[in-house]
Structure formats: structure tokens, C-alpha cells
């Protein structure tokens, strides 16, 4: 993803404010999806941070073939950990919502639209990797 993309820009502006956003993202994720929390009890902060780095990388990825490969890999490896198709979308929304709160008045309609489009697209891709695809 180019450094001028709305997703990248919103992440960069939030990062400029300092502080670690990942704990907020996980707190929002677990509040919205309580069944996800026990699946991650064994993951320490470093492991959770490595996972979130990968989630952000995927969200920003512009390489379509690389994206398909990564979605296939993560969907299949996570199915083995009990992760449902719906949880991916909830996690992406938790990232978007955390950024929206963090940026406050600096959050724009362009960021909102770009995040919604990307979340819908990736959620659909993950749904397609599950045996019984569900509506995103
Ligand atoms: C695009 C979305 C996601 C990506 C790219 C991703 C990526 C990763 C990565 C890279 C790891 C390994 C971390 C490490 O040890 O270095 C991991 C582990 C894990 N992730 Fe995710 N993750 C995603 C979504 C989710 C969701 C929605 C859940 C729901 C609870 C989840 C649950 C887990 C669990 C339980 C593990 C630990 C698996 C184990 O014990 O081996 N992940 N994830």
C-alpha cells in the first residue's frame, strides 16, 4: 500500500501520537467478541504484538496474489485454533474503531470509507476460506 493511502495515513497519524494501540485494539476486540478472548489466553503480549503486526501488514498489502496466499494460510491455520470466519471482521473493525477514537477530530470521511471498503473485502476473502461461507 502506498504511503499516501488513507489506511496507511491514518495508521501513521495515530502512531505519531505515541503510545501502544495494540492493547486497546485487543480490548475492543474481546468486548465485541467475548468468545475470542479464551482462544488467546496463552498468548503473551509479544505474541499478540507479532500477530497484530501481521494483521496490519495484511490490511496494507497491495499485492493481490500475496494477499490470497496470506488469507488462505491464516484462515486455515486459525481454523485449527478455533477461530471463526466472523472473528476476522470483528478484529479489523476493532483496529478501525481504535484509530477513529485515537484520531478524534482528525478522523476523516476518507479514512472511514477506505477502512470500510478494505474490511468488507478482506472479511469476504476470509469467509470464502471457510467450509460454509457466511455473509460478511
Ligand atoms: C488477518 C487476521 C490475522 C492474522 C494476520 C493473524 C496472524 C497471526 C500470527 C502471525 C500468529 C502467530 C503469532 C506468533 O506467535 O508469532 C497468530 C496466532 C494466533 N492468532 Fe491470529 N491472526 C489473525 C486473526 C486472528 C483472529 C481473528 C483471532 C481470533 C481469536 C486469532 C487468534 C490467534 C490465536 C489463538 C493464535 C495462537 C495460535 C497458536 O497457539 O499457535 N487471530 N495469528
Count Cα neighbours of 48 within 13 Å in the Cβ-side half-sphere.
20
pLDDT tens digit string along 6-48? 999 999 999 998 889 999 999 999 999 999 999 999 999 999 9
78 lines ligand 1 (CB under 6 A): yes
Q: If you measure from the C-alpha of residue 109 to the centroid of ligand 1, how many angstroms do you get, rounded to a whole number?
A: 30
CATH number assigned to the domain comprising residue 50 = 1.10.490.10
Parent domain of 56: 6-127
Cell numbers given for 79? 481454523
- Banded model confidence at residue 4, pLDDT cuts 50, 70, 90: low
Q: Determine, yes or no, domain membership for 80.
A: yes
CA distance 104 to 91: 20
Instruction: Return the percentage of the chain with pLDDT > 90, whole number.
Output: 90
Q: Determine, yes or no, domain membership for 51.
A: yes
Q: Within a 10 A sphere around the Cβ of 54, how many other Cβ atoms?
A: 12
103 lines ligand 1 (CB under 6 A): no
Q: What is the pTM of this model?
A: 0.94
Domain count, the chain: 1
CA distance 3 to 5: 6
Residue nearest to atom 8 of ligand 1 (CA): 51
58 lines ligand 1 (CB under 6 A): yes
Q: Determine, yes or no, domain membership for 72.
A: yes
Residue nearest to atom 18 of ligand 1 (CA): 51
Tell me 89's DSSP state.
Answer: H
Amino acid at each position: 500500500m502506498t504511503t499516501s493511502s488513507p489506511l496507511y495515513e491514518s495508521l501513521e497519524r495515530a502512531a505519531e501520537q505515541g503510545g501502544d494501540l495494540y492493547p486497546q485494539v485487543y480490548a475492543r476486540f474481546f468486548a465485541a467478541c467475548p468468545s475470542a478472548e479464551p482462544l488467546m489466553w496463552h498468548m503473551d503480549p509479544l505474541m499478540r504484538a507479532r500477530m497484530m503486526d501481521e494483521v496490519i501488514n495484511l490490511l496494507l498489502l497491495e499485492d493481490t496474489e500475496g494477499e490470497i496466499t496470506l488469507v488462505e494460510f491464516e484462515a486455515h491455520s486459525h481454523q485449527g485454533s478455533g477461530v471463526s470466519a466472523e472473528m476476522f471482521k470483528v478484529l479489523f473493525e476493532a483496529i478501525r474503531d481504535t484509530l477513529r477514537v485515537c484520531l478524534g477530530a482528525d478522523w476523516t470521511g476518507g479514512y472511514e470509507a477506505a477502512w470500510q471498503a478494505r474490511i468488507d473485502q478482506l472479511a469476504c476473502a476470509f469467509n470464502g476460506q471457510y467450509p460454509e461461507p457466511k455473509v460478511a
